[in-house]
Structure 1
């Protein structure tokens, strides 16, 4: 039986369960200390796998379509941050200062890879261009996001300068990423055989990091700071941001004369944000007591982007098939 497009998938449900578990049974004491080291190792493994999955030829083949990639990246790293700042007078009264910073953090993150490519394929978009754009966005995000965060969200960061953050990001995220990418030829066949197992490790690592982040946030009193009304406001804000980003990138792609396939690629590549990059980076960029608060807007946005984008992809798929 096919899942209705408006229902969350199993992984999204697991994300919610992880937050509930961290809220009821947060890690503390010696367990929290051990979990911190395990989480650091899990993040390194996660980015090693990201690097190993990155097909170099797809990037080389896609570089010729620079206008499309420039449009997608402008939405990811320019339009989203501008929305966050321009709408500040409206957002602050709704969610408070800490969650507003979380919304800004969401706006500064790179685009997602897996779901953007998968949805582009379902909708009949330009899959090679989607792979290239999402991969480049991830690489740029590792470099750009720390500078944006330290320049604009300094009070909650755990490092002293953008250079310190970039060094930490490089050591904890970029180095494993590059190692995985350059070792890809030696492990390619093994990765292909272990596809489902690697997916389990990939997603399991993210769940572990989310549990660690929310445990620290719960111990720090997140649910005393975040009300139900704030969560509802975050849902509304996420929907507005998602709608405006889709309108921006899809409208410009159409105005610039891109084919329908490229318009689809631009929509799913430019209007989504990466949970897989955002959660691990939050552990490096922010002190533990606020990391959970910072990723809460991202988790809500992640759920909504999947629901809305899946519905759109299925609609275009049915139109292509004449259903």
Structure 2
């Protein structure tokens, strides 16, 4: 029943519908949003990305982050899963099935595994299940900042650097100027404008999602013009869905068992599982445009994170309800 409720909510989610619409529009109108097209997507996207990360900086509470810095075991687990365990899972999978999967899609799976955690859904789900919210804020925020440096470095290991690969130095400069700089500027103006922006936070989240949709549209336009989708066929979508589902199931199993092995209390267990399994489409789409700049396969590279994003929300929302029920039952037993 709870699963059906989450599926219904997802079907009516305008952002998910927007991602589907963006891919459909790219199929019918690829030249409009492609590189050098009428939309001038490169320029528009760069402006949008800068604005989005500035807003993230304004809304990032340094007080809550400082409050959540105490539990080092929890922090190590979350960051370890985000940037070490996920990529190692890909390494094993690549050895086992990499030869049967299109290279661009396999790179997309690696990019998914190399991404930082997401802030909003990690914190929201942790809070809904009576988890350790300050720790969730700290880990999700720390992951986002670390990801600016670690994600492109990991990608350079997979793709290679220099000619034909990723120019790591240039990529880091671009990421710092487009992501880190606006984030720092947002923090600097937070004491002056933080309360004003907080009043309109629901509108700033809309801007965030619209920029992601624009990125998805532009990426798929480039892929359509290159003939990539025509070459791959429908099987690539099925492969992506199955692969993402298996990855999410495995990582949820590993994080849950690790949290139990570390004997976390309920609050820390919830924060650990939800933060360590999340991957950020909000950071992933802008970073992909910078890391894989000019790559015609960008649409295919983004496909796994586009599938992982809604799937993680469905599954973790159901889990949050289960955690909440368990917490209330435990509290009721203690009160008797």
State the TM-score, normalized to the length of structure 1.
Answer: 0.93
The structure 2 residue matched to 1:228, chosen from 226, 234, 250, is 234
In the alignment, is the contact (CA less than 8 A) between 2:244 and 2:308 conserved in 1? yes
Contact (CA 8 Å) 2:131, 2:266: kept in 1 or not?
yes
User: Partner residue of 1:10?
Assistant: 14
Counterpart of 2:87 in structure 1 is: 81
1:30 shift after superposition: 5.1
Name the SS for the 1:44 alignment partner: helix
Question: Given that residues 52 and 180 in structure 1 are in contact (C-alpha distance below 8 angstroms), is that contact kept between their aligned partners in structure 2?
Answer: yes
Is 1:96–2:102 an aligned residue pair?
A: yes
For 1:227 and 1:198, locate their aligned partners in 2 and report how far apart those are by CA, in whole Å.
Answer: 37
Larger Rg over CA atoms: 2
Matched, 1:197 2:203: yes
Task: State yes or no: 1:294 paired with 2:301.
Answer: yes
Q: State the partner residue of 2:146.
A: 140
Give a deviation string over 1:249-290, Cα, whole Å, max 9, x none. Answer: 221111111101111111110011000011000110113312
2:172 corresponds to: 166
Matched, 1:24 2:28: yes
Which deviates more, 246-255 or 137-146?
Answer: 246-255
CA distance in structure 2 between the partners assigned to 1:13 and 1:320 by the alignment: 34
What SS class does the counterpart of residue 91 from structure 1 fall into?
helix
Instruction: Check whether the contact 2:87–2:113 (CA below 8 A) recurs between aligned residues.
Output: yes
Could you say if the C-alpha distance between residues 35 and 123 of structure 1 is closer, same or farther in structure 2, counting changes exceeding 3 Å?
same
Deviation of the 1:121 alpha carbon: 1.1
User: What residue ranges of structure 2 are gaps of 5+ in the alignment?
Assistant: none
Deviates most, 99-108 or 160-169: 160-169
Q: CA deviation at 1:320?
A: 4.0
The match for 1:258 is 264
Query: What does residue range 176-195 of structure 1 map to in structure 2 within 5 Å?
Result: 176-195=182-201
Q: What is the TM-score normalised by the length of structure 2? A: 0.90
**1:62 corresponds to:** 68
Q: Hey, what's the Cα distance between the residues in 1 that align with 2:170 and 2:117? A: 23
Match of 1:239, SS? Answer: helix
Runs of 5+ consecutive residues of structure 1 not aligned to the other structure:
none
- Paired with 2:36 and 2:138, the residues of 1 have a C-alpha distance of 43
Partner of 1:42 in structure 2? 48
Q: In structure 2, how many angstroms separate the alpha carbons of the residues matched to 1:146 and 1:300?
A: 21
1:241 is matched with 247
1:273 aligns with 2:282: no
Measured against aligned partners, the alpha-carbon deviations of 1:1-60 in whole angstroms (never above 9, x if no partner) come to x98123423322222221222222222475356221011100111111111121111221
1:165-188 Cα shifts (integer Å, max 9, x gaps):
111111111111111122111111
Runs of 4+ in 1 over 6 A off after TM superposition: 155-159
Are 1:52 and 1:184, in contact at CA under 8 Å, matched by a contact in 2? yes
Does the Cα contact within 8 Å between 1:43 and 1:209 map onto a contact in 2? Answer: no
Distance 2:246 2:216 in 1: 25
C-alpha separation in 2, matches of 1:158 and 1:5: 43
Between 79-88 and 12-21, the greater mean CA deviation after superposition: 12-21
Distance, in Å, in 1 between the alignment partners of 2:87 and 2:271 is: 21
Q: CA deviation at 1:150?
A: 1.4
Instruction: Give deviations 1:223-254, integer Å, cap 9, x for gaps.
Output: 11332222112111111111111122221111
Residues 218 and 134 of structure 1: is their aligned pair in 2 closer, same or farther, counting only changes over 3 Å? Answer: same
8 Å CA contact 2:212, 2:285 repeated in 1 = yes
Contact 2:78–2:276, Cα closer than 8 Å, also in 1: yes
Q: Which structure 2 residues correspond to residues 299-314 of structure 1 after superposition, within 5 A?
A: 299-314=306-321
